[in-house]
Amino acid sequence: MHFNVPKNKTIGKYVVLFMVFVNFVIGQSSGNCLGKTQNQYVTSGYIPAPVHKLMVSNNSEKIVYLTFDDGPSSSSDKLMDLLDKYHAKATFFLLQSNILKHPKEVERMNLEGFSLGLHGVTHDHRKLYRSKQTVVREMSEDQKTLMNIVKIKTPFIRTPYGSYPFMKNNYRQAINEKGFIMWDWNVDSHDWKYRNWRFNQVTINQIKKLNATNQIPVILLHDRFSTVQNIEPLLKYLELNHYKMNGIDATLHPLQFPVEFGKF
């Protein structure tokens, strides 16, 4: 964009100010477009302390966090279509090998505002949890692969099989020092066990119990064919019961299993 500045100094001054304003607005608009896919990852150097119970805040809004492990997959597009149908956002914890197999699905997840997290490389507890260094290494490698696809750096991780009993205090300290934010869950859908419609009722029963104690559900699900084929009753239930289905973001206190299980 080019302007010829008038010779009159007063008019010229206002033209220059107008040009500065236009450039500022253009810059802000560009930044806002980028922010739609990055704001949920910004930590500003502060990571909220982990909690063992994610409690409902004072407002009356009902919130649930759907989280999908092991993706992306050949079923991811259909899953995102279903989530869009029910005005739902979710968090995808992605494996390095599947990111490489399904980069287009990852790009869509990012562009449509789903939250992205890391799930490591091997999904083998004997390799992953060998030392605190191996945990950090797997998540860092997964991070690099994700960045190559979508150019964002997510802090969110979920360790395979959950943090208990593998993630001891020194392991947790190691990932914190690298800026990772670990998330577990408080609702196990058992979609890994019941590869049919039954996992919906198992999940709903747990949601009702948490609701009775003012806890926010964080639901473990998997990005796989059998889950995607059968998940719609759960999404219908959540919508009919006025739950807002959100992706996790960096302002939340991450839900984590305690180091010693049972000490909630």
Indicate the angle between helix axes 76-85 and 103-111, nearest 10 degrees.
20
Catalytic residue among 102, 119, 123, 222: 222
| Catalytic site residue from 69, 70, 191, 223 | 69
- 222 classed as catalytic: yes
| Selection from 140, 161, 143 nearest residue 152 by Cα | 143
Query: Which DSSP string do the residues of the chain spell out, in sequence order?
Result: ------SSHHHHHHHHHHHHHHHHHHHHHHHHHHHHHHGGG--TT--PPPBSS-B--SS--EEEEEEEEEE--TTHHHHHHHHHHTT---EEEE-HHHHHH-HHHHHHHHHTT-EEEE--SS--HHHHTT-HHHHHHHHHHHHHHHHHHH-----EE--TT-STTT--HHHHHHHHHTT-EE---SEE--TTT--STHHHHHHHHHHHHHHHTTB--EEEEE-SHHHHHH-HHHHHHHHHTTEEEE---TTSPPB---SSTT--
Which of these, 183, 172, 165, 204, lies nearest to 247 by C-alpha position?
Answer: 183
69 as an active site residue: the answer is: yes
Return the active site residues.
69, 222
